[in-house]
């Protein structure tokens, strides 16, 4: 199975790797590793076989992973379609509880007008929400919490 992001923790820092060994370690093609070298992964020297220090490989992969991270600030929700943190349209969001302590903060992206979601705990809602106007949606009742039988039940009143 091929993985989208290679795990830099699999690399042994005190070992030198060839391109083929790195490709086998992460289950990817050798040309992918060669593209990393062209993009800036340092090698030991310019000779063949191309050797890469494990410590430098781990640092390179860690830097690649953190380069694309875009953490949300207070009052922002990440829009998957725009691939950026956005403040919801009208600075309004709804909080819909999922459990007693967790729920979803929902809003509309001001650019693409799609729905944006952020998981939030009730305890940190004020911190995450920032200056957003948050409305609370009442959780839907579950079947086992109802007082009486439903309309479609076979229980007779009598």
> Digits of tens for pLDDT over the chain (158 positions)?
456 789 889 999 999 999 999 999 999 999 999 999 999 999 998 788 899 999 999 999 999 888 877 788 888 888 888 888 889 988 889 988 888 888 888 899 998 988 898 888 888 888 888 888 888 877 556 656 666 666 666 666 55
Q: What is the pTM of this model?
A: 0.54
Strand residue runs (E) in 24-83: 51-53, 77-79
CATH number of 8-67: 1.10.10.10
Cβ atoms of 130 and 73 within 8 Å: the answer is yes
* CA dist., res. 71 & res. 124, Å (int): 16
Domains in the chain: boundaries:
8-67, 77-138
């Amino acid at each position: 199975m091929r993985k989208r992001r290679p795990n830099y923790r699999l690399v042994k820092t005190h070992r030198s790797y060839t391109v083929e060994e790195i490709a086998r370690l992460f289950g990817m093609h050798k040309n992918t590793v060669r593209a990393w070298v062209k993009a800036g992964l340092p090698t030991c020297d310019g000779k063949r076989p191309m050797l890469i220090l494990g410590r430098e490989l781990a640092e390179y992969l860690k830097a690649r992973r953190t380069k694309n991270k875009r953490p949300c600030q207070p009052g922002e929700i990440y829009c998957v379609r725009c691939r950026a943190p956005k403040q919801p349209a009208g600075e309004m969001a709804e909080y819909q509880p999922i459990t007693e302590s967790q729920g979803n903060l929902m809003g509309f992206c001001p650019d693409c007008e799609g729905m944006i979601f952020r998981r939030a705990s009730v305890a940190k809602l004020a911190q995450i929400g920032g200056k957003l106007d948050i409305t609370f949606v009442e959780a839907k009742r579950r079947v086992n919490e109802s007082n009486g039988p439903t309309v479609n039940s076979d229980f007779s009143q009598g």
